[in-house]
A and B are shown apart, each in its own frame.
Chain A
């Protein structure tokens, strides 16, 4: 290796190091705090790492139902992802491939729907859920989450549909496929990376949603993770150790999943960004 090469390598790692320092330092602090006792957390200018490692915060977090909440969040996030993709893939195909009047209006209104503050919508949506007898049940969340997952998913998926040349579809139709058959057999397989990327996007947004979760769910056994974090904020004090333990549990496992799916995801997001 030449000196120039070594220098180049070195500077590359230096940049990575700087970037990592910004993102990782708070995370290490979080994990380290999660292993400190309350006495250690409340030590003025205490050491970065615990002097005595304790699992107390994890005990508290799991005794409060963190495991159950993890499961609840997974159920809600997976269901929302499936339902949104199902709805969005069809609509997105329609707004990408079929000429009809009002198409632009639909695309724009999808963006506009994202501008409305939740506080305006929440009481009317709550009343709808009450009428449907869905309060304090997961479907109320899944349905409410569609308000923000579908529009974004339609937009993301649209760029994938646009990247599939229409010739491929037309060729299939010349071979005797109906428009519908061509869609199922030819187009869908081509946008699988797009579905994966959009799906992960929806999953992640649902995973951290707070407002609907705390409004609709009232039985602690049904809480999702963000609603569960609230349990550690008491009227007279916040249990920071337990919050950090919960935060560690709710962010590390999904990231591992992310690591495993990364390659596919990144090629997926490339198209979602509008690259044709």
Chain B
């Protein structure tokens, strides 16, 4: 009798394997095995929105494979929202790809935890020069004086989008140049609850941190300098007070407003101004073609000049890769201006390609180039993610009524513990 049960018990395990094998089969795992000397390059990239960039990349991958017989490139493109999670879990579990795109704010942490390799000697071998890249983009690859990545694409998070129709109605001749002007213009443009001066991003996310940083940089402040926390300073407090004052002229819900909310408000004509990057130009053109908008270099405090926050993506080589020199050849191929101008998700970080891209694809390229040249990166630190979380919480506190000075002091104290 009990032999039946034995058969059932073990039989179920075997039976369970059948549907598993079936789904495995349907997933096409029975790929033909490659010849022995074949090298597979595993490359991960992310997709910023639902428009697939992988296709364009594939064209150049095919060319790369032709130029390097015996090499197959396996490109995995992951949606932005999942990308950090998927990449870090893979690295943590020992399954890192050979090459990946990483956000420049992650680059130092990947380097400090020994997950990726320094590229300086390989750059020399393949005659790649750091002077080919926009300098602030290049700086984000550095950790302890060594370069751990090749800048691929970058952009600045802030230009001032302004609604020309609403400005004309309020008899304001043009976009504000100083913080004082901005506040008074915002006030004139506010007719709550139907119209507001500007959209203010304030949610718990990186999109809020880049606005904070830009205001701080424009006021001459900084988050940290030479590994010393410089956050608790009058300049930072002034900047965040200005940020808070701006929110008086923004629609309700600042503490949960994302970049998506902000550009939505701007495109609906509900607000007259918004800070955003040049990537939103395409969105506005396709979604609200009739909207009469322009961009401008955002205002700065009187007598100072505006500095935006830079963002971007670098290509890195993982320690687990068995063929770093081949990886470098791939990176060189993809960052070649002729290729890069077609595959980068933002503005190519290679100067030649970048200039060409902005002139070709963007309205008011001079404004964009100005903000790019004057942009600063976020703190280049292996602890950046913790710093960012602290800044997000500080801003949340400020929205909910904590005095700016107190929120800033608390945040600085937490940053020092990092």
* A/B touching: CB–CB < 8 A: yes
Interface residues of A (CB under 8 A from B): 37-39, 41-44, 60, 64, 75-76, 79, 82-83, 86-87, 90, 122-123, 126-127, 130, 134-135, 137-139, 142-143, 178-180, 214-215, 218-220, 222, 227, 230-239, 242
Tell whether, in the assembled complex, residue B50 and residue A219 are in contact, meaning their CB atoms are under 8 Å apart. Answer: no
Q: A39-B267, A79-B22, A236-B283 are in contact. List 5 more A-B contacts (CB 8 A).
A: A64-B50, A75-B26, A215-B85, A231-B47, A237-B260
List residues of B (31-54) whose CB comes within 8 Å of A's CBs: 44, 47-50
Interface contact B20-A215, CB-CB below 8 Å: no
Q: Contacts A42-B268, A218-B78, A234-B80: A79 and B23 contacting too (C-beta < 8 A)?
A: yes
Contact B95 A123 (CB under 8 A): no
Contact with A along B238-265 (1 / 0, CB 8 A): 0000000000000000000011100111
By DSSP majority rule, is chain A's interface helix, strand, loop, or mixed?
Answer: helix
Closest A residue to B289 by beta carbon equals A39
Instruction: Report B13-37 CB contacts with A as 1/0, cut-off 8 Å.
Output: 0011001111110110100000000
CB <8 Å contact, A235 and B80: yes
Which of these, B86, B259, B270, B276, contacts A44 with CB under 8 Å? B270
Choose one: A44, A135, A237; the contact of B95 (CB below 8 Å). A135
Give Cα distance in the complex from A104 to B417, angstroms.
48
Partner of A137, one of B24, B260, B267: B24
Q: A42-B264, A122-B89, A130-B95 are in contact. Are A237 and B259 (CB under 8 A)?
A: yes
**Residues of chain A with a CB closer than 8 A to B27's CB:** 137-138, 222
Look across to chain B and name the residue whose beta carbon is closest to the beta carbon of A232. Answer: B50
Docked complex Cα distance between A237 and B94 (Å): 32
B414 at the interface (CB under 8 A from A): no
Query: How close is A210's CB to chain B, nearest CB, in angstroms?
Result: 10
How many Å from the CB of B336 to the closest CB on chain A?
25
* Contact A123 B89, CB 8 Å, known A87-B12, A237-B260: yes
Q: Which of B198-231 contact A (CB under 8 A)?
A: none
A60 touching B29 in the complex, CB below 8 Å, given contacts A86-B12, A86-B16, A237-B263 = no
By secondary structure, the B interface counts as helix
A60: chain B residues at CB < 8 Å are: 50
In the complex, A122→B81 CA distance in Å?
18
Which residues in window 78-129 of B have CB below 8 A to A? Answer: 78-82, 85-86, 89, 92-95
Write the nearest CB–CB distance from A56 to chain B, whole angstroms.
11
25 example contacts (A-B, Cβ-Cβ < 8 A) are as follows: A38-B287, A41-B264, A42-B267, A75-B26, A76-B23, A83-B19, A86-B12, A86-B15, A86-B16, A90-B8, A122-B89, A126-B93, A137-B29, A179-B1, A180-B1, A180-B8, A214-B86, A230-B81, A231-B47, A233-B79, A236-B279, A237-B259, A237-B280, A237-B283, A238-B258
Residue of A nearest to B49 (CB): A234
Report how far A242 CA is from B50 CA in the complex, Å. Answer: 10
B170 interface residue per 8 A CB criterion: no
Chain A CB count within 10 A is highest, among B16, B79, B89, B258, for B79
Do A231 and B8 touch across chains, with their CB atoms under 8 A apart? no
B81 interface neighbour in A83, A86, A143, A233, Cβ under 8 Å: A233
Known: A130-B93, A180-B4, A180-B8. A236 touches B280 (CB 8 A): yes
